[in-house]
Amino acid sequence: MSDRNGRLLEYRAQFPILERKTYLVSHSLGAMPRGAVGGLEQYSREWMDEGVAAWNDWWGLPISIGDSIGSLIGAPPDSISMQPNVTLATAVFLSSFDWAGPRNGIVTTELHFPSVLHILDGMRDQGARLTVVPGVDGISIDTDRLIERIDESTQVVNISHVLFRSSFIQNVAAVVEKAHHVGAHVLIDIYQSAGTVPIDLTELGVDAAVGGCLKWLCGGPGNAYLYVRPDLSGRLTPRLTGWMSHAAPFEFKIPPVDRANGGWRFLSGTPSVPAMRAAEAGLEIVTRAGVEAIREKSLRLTGRIIDRSDREGWKVNTPRSDESRGGTVSIDLPAADSMAGSLDDLEIMVDCRPGAGIRMGPHFYNTEDEVDRALDAIAALLAESNS
Ligand SMILES: Cc1ncc(COP(=O)(O)O)c(C=O)c1O
């Protein structure tokens, strides 16, 4: 369903912060829906009234919430497990492989999220050979250059679908094709795409994906997830797991571990129940809004930011074409850090990242007027600092 007649703006009333702030920072933290308060109240009531019996309601959440996410990203039921954050979710998937053997290559890019690069770098201690493909102008990745580095010694290619700094959309299909041709696995980070750029994990054929509900899914922190291709997951033996991944967790058996199948196979210890209860409302709204319609609107609003930046002569650190651009626009402005602070004083919320500049991420609940208000404010602040 498209956004004709501004259908998506009907959801604005469900996000109280929009009454007070020009909120253009959903690439960092999506606005909190009113319904999330209900989810947290539900959690409180369950704990307060039912005590330990609340586990009857809570136990399956790491998989059922995963299923709700899965329906947005083309993942079948029971293929996703909830994880504390993307960094650890990445480590869980990587723990499935033997890094001391001849197929020990990890191929990534320098524009991947740094926290994940920390994990990949640490894998060297386990015998992994890390190849970090450089970016182009800090904005994009040359797909051919990336693909060239994937060979028979590669175990995992780990890239972001949409880069957090520039919002460049990587050519995942081409990477999957090459990786599978040489027997390597592809793990993609869809944190910056799920909920704003349509993605179908099954169609893409990726082996695994990680992401979170914090940003474009308006689900708050503590709600990351790991997808593993169903026909692959049973063949993997993840080491970074715990009792919840055991086929019979309540038998409390010592190793060897008889691992469960599906999403359960990748769980560790007790999950963050309040976080998952908070996530349900945002997921429901994004599902109803529809990611196709969200994307159509996102392209319109990000295009508006780029057009104005061009008219003003501001340098844009985000690809211009619709096919290569995710949900955020990075504008390279002088003193961008203090500019973000000045905008905050005007109740305009954006953020600033080194190498990116000011990042603006309009979502389905934003208006063109809000985007214009932020851009007018930037122009006024720049004029003031130049006078
Ligand atoms: C693409 C991407 N990956 C990972 C992260 C961080 O993940 P986490 O803090 O859940 O480990 C971010 C956060 O901004 C991100 O944009």
pLDDT (tens digit, 9 = 90+) per residue, 204-222? 999 999 999 999 999 999 9
pLDDT attached to residue 5: 67
Q: Are 139 and 317 in contact (CB under 8 A)?
A: yes
CA of 191 to the centre of ligand 1 (A): 6
Whether 251 contacts 61, CB under 8 Å: no
Gap from CA of 213 to ligand 1 centroid (Å): 11
Q: How many CA atoms lie within 13 A of 338 on its CB side?
A: 5
Q: Are 325 and 319 in contact (CB under 8 A)?
A: yes
Q: How far apart, in whole angstroms, are the C-alpha atoms of residue 208 and residue 159?
A: 11
Nearest CA to ligand 1 atom 3: 113
Q: What separation in Å is there between the alpha carbon of 345 and the centre of ligand 1?
A: 26
Question: Which is nearest to 153 in space by CA: 120, 198, 185, 177?
Answer: 185
Say what the pLDDT of residue 387 is.
81
Residue written as token pair 């182009």: 136
268 contacts 241 by C-beta, under 8 angstroms = yes
How far is the centre of ligand 1, averaged over its atoms, from the C-alpha of 65 (Å)? 19
CA distances from 251 to 8, 56, 240, 243, 244 (A): 49, 17, 20, 10, 11
Model pTM score: 0.97
Which residue stretches of the chain have pLDDT < 50? none
Phi, psi of 158, deg, nearest 5: -125, 110
Q: Which residues pair with 359 in a beta bridge?
A: 330, 351
Nearest-atom index, ligand 1, CA of 87: 11
Give distance in angstroms: CA of 254 to centre of ligand 1: 34
| CA 340 to each of CA 337, 343, 345: distance values in angstroms, whole numbers, following the listed order | 5, 5, 9
Sheet holding 357-360, edge to edge: 315-316, 329-332, 357-360, 351-353
Pairing of β 185-189 and β 154-160: parallel
Q: How far apart (Å, rounded) are the C-alpha atoms in residues 71 and 69?
A: 5
In the chain, the percentage of residues whose pLDDT exceeds 90 is: 95
- Domain(s) labelled CATH 3.90.1150.10 in the chain stretch across 4-33+291-386
Question: Which homologous superfamily is 4-33+291-386 in?
Answer: Aspartate Aminotransferase, domain 1 (3.90.1150.10)
Residues of the chain with CATH 3.40.640.10: 37-286
Mutate to test the pocket of ligand 1, among 113, 118, 119, 167 (most ligand atoms within 8 A of CB): 113
Q: Write the DSSP symbol of residue 318.
A: S
**pLDDT given for residue 386 in this prediction:** 84
Best mutation site among 116, 120, 141 for ligand 1, i.e. most ligand atoms within 8 A of its Cβ?
Answer: 116
Scanning the structure block, which residue is given the tokens 């934003």?
A: 366
Where residue 56 falls (left for φ over 0; alpha for ψ -120 to 50; beta otherwise) is: alpha
Instruction: Looking at the CA of residue 163, tell me the nearest atom of ligand 1.
Output: 1
303: nearest Cα among 316, 289, 320: 320
Which of 365, 353, 227, 235 has its CA nearest to residue 294? 365
CATH numeric code, 37-286 = 3.40.640.10
DSSP state of 50: I
User: What distances in angstroms separate CA 97 from CA 154, 157, 366, one per listed residue?
Assistant: 11, 13, 43
Ligand 1, pocket residues at CB < 6 Å? 85-87, 113, 115-116, 160, 164, 189, 191-192, 212, 224
Q: How far is the CA of 351 from the centre of ligand 1 (A)?
A: 15
* Model pLDDT, residue 72: 98
Q: Which of 164, 169, 196, 328 to mutate to test the pocket of ligand 1 (most atoms within 8 A of CB)?
A: 164
Q: How far is the CA of 53 from the centre of ligand 1 (A)?
A: 34
Instruction: Give the per-residue pLDDT at 1.
Output: 62
- What's residue 3's pLDDT? 76
